[in-house]
Structure 1
Amino acid sequence: MLRSACLALFLVALPCTFTNAADDRPNIVIILCDDLGFGDLGIHGHPHIQTPFIDSLADEGLRFTSFYSTAPVCSPSRVGLLTGRSPNRAGVYDWIPEARTPRPDAREQVHMKKDEVTIAQLLKKGGYATCMAGKWHCNAAFNSPDQPQPGDAGFDHWMATQNNAAPSHQDPVNYVRNGKPVGKIEGFSCQIATDEATGWMAQHVKNNPEQPFFIYLPFHEPHEPVASPPALVKQYESVTWHPDQAQYYANVHNVDLAVGKVVKALENAGVRDNTLIVFTADNGPETLNRYRSANRSWGITAHLRGMKLHTHDGGFHVAGIFNWPKGIKPGQVTDTVGSALDLLPTACDLAGVDLPAERKLDGISLKPLFESGTMNTPARSLVWAYYNGINDARVAMRHGQWKVLARLNGGNFPKRQNLTPTTLAEAKAAKLTDFEIYNIDTDPGEISNLAGRGVAEETQLIKQIKTGYAELVDDSPAWTPVTKSK
Structure 2
Amino acid sequence: MNILNKHLLTLAGGVTLAANMLHAASDNRQPNVVFIMVDDYGWADVGYNGSRFYETPNIDRLASEGMIFTDGYAAASISSPSRVSLMTGKYPARTGITDWIPGYQYGLKPEQLKQYKMLAPEMPLNMPLEEVTMAEAFKEHGYATYHVGKWHCAEDSLYYPQYQGFDVNIGGWLKGSPNGIRRSQGGKGAYCSPYRNPYLPDGPEGEFLTDRLGDESIKLIKNSSADKPFFLYLAFYAVHTPIEAKPEYVKYFKWKAQRMGLDTIVPFTRNLEWYKNAEYKAGHWKERTVQSDAEYAALIYSMDENVGRVMQALKDNGLDKNTIVCLLSDNGGLSTAEGSPTCNAPLRAGKGWLYEGGIREPFIIKYPQMVEAGSVCHTPVVAVDFYPTLLDMAGLPLKPHQHVDGKSLLPLLKGDQAYDRGPIFFHYPHYGGKGDTPAGAVRMGDYKLIEFYEDGHVELYNLKNDISETRDLSKTEKDKAAEMQKMLHRWRTDCNAKMPTRNPHYVPV
Correspondence list, 1:394-409, <5 A: 394-408=439-453
2:317 corresponds to which letter in structure 1? Answer: A
The yes-or-no answer on 1:153 pairing with 2:133 is no
The yes-or-no answer on 1:48 pairing with 2:53 is yes
Correspondence for 1:171? 193
The 2-side partners of 1:103 and 1:246 are apart by 34
| Aligned residue pairs, count | 424
Correspondence list, 1:294-373, <5 A: 294-295=338-339, 297-359=340-402, 361-373=404-416
Contact 1:172 1:184 in 2 (8 A): yes
Q: Name the larger-Rg structure.
A: 2
Q: Which range is displaced more, 440-449 or 360-369?
A: 360-369
The 1-side partners of 2:475 and 2:499 are apart by 34
3-state SS, counterpart of residue 70 of structure 2: strand
The 1-side partners of 2:376 and 2:415 are apart by 13
**Consecutive unaligned residues in structure 2, runs of 5 or more:** 1-14, 110-119, 181-189, 264-290, 501-509
The yes-or-no answer on 1:449 pairing with 2:472 is yes
- Structure 1 moving runs of 4+ over 4 Å: 14-18, 101-109, 241-244, 475-478
Q: Under a length normalisation based on structure 2, what TM-score does the superposition of the two structures give?
A: 0.77
Map Cα deviations across residues 95-129 of structure 1 (whole Å, 9 max, x no partner): 1149xx98998979601110112110001101211
User: Out of 228, 243, 248, which is 2:296 matched to?
Assistant: 248
Map Cα deviations across residues 371-413 of structure 1 (whole Å, 9 max, x no partner): 1242524x511111101244346111111111011122xx25x
The 2-side partners of 1:86 and 1:247 are apart by 33
Correspondence list, 1:33-432, <5 A: 33-97=38-102, 110-141=125-156, 144=157, 147-161=158-172, 162-163=174-175, 164-167=177-180, 168-177=190-199, 182-184=201-203, 186-204=206-224, 208-240=225-257, 245-287=293-335, 290=337, 294-295=338-339, 297-359=340-402, 361-374=404-417, 376-377=419-420, 380-389=422-431, 390-392=435-437, 394-408=439-453, 411-412=454-455
Correspondence for 1:469? 492
The 2-side partners of 1:330 and 1:452 are apart by 43
Map Cα deviations across residues 412-463 of structure 1 (whole Å, 9 max, x no partner): 5xxxxxxxxxxxxxxxxxxxx3121111111111111111213663442222
Contact 2:91 2:384 in 1 (8 A): yes
CA separation of 1:107 and 1:234: change in aligned 2, threshold 3 A: farther
Quote the RMSD (CA, aligned, Å).
2.7
The yes-or-no answer on 1:30 pairing with 2:47 is no
Contact 1:25 1:350 in 2 (8 A): no
Q: Aligned residues: percent identity?
A: 29
Map Cα deviations across residues 9-36 of structure 1 (whole Å, 9 max, x no partner): xxxxx99954443743221111111111
Contact 1:438 1:448 in 2 (8 A): yes
3-state SS, counterpart of residue 212 of structure 2: helix
**Consecutive unaligned residues in structure 1, runs of 5 or more:** 1-13, 413-432, 479-486
The 2-side partners of 1:171 and 1:277 are apart by 28
CA separation of 1:195 and 1:106: change in aligned 2, threshold 3 A: farther
Map Cα deviations across residues 286-323 of structure 1 (whole Å, 9 max, x no partner): 236x3xxx34x422212111110001111111111112
Contact 2:74 2:383 in 1 (8 A): yes
Map Cα deviations across residues 145-203 of structure 1 (whole Å, 9 max, x no partner): xx3110111111110243211121122423344xxx52355522222112112201210
The 2-side partners of 1:114 and 1:191 are apart by 31
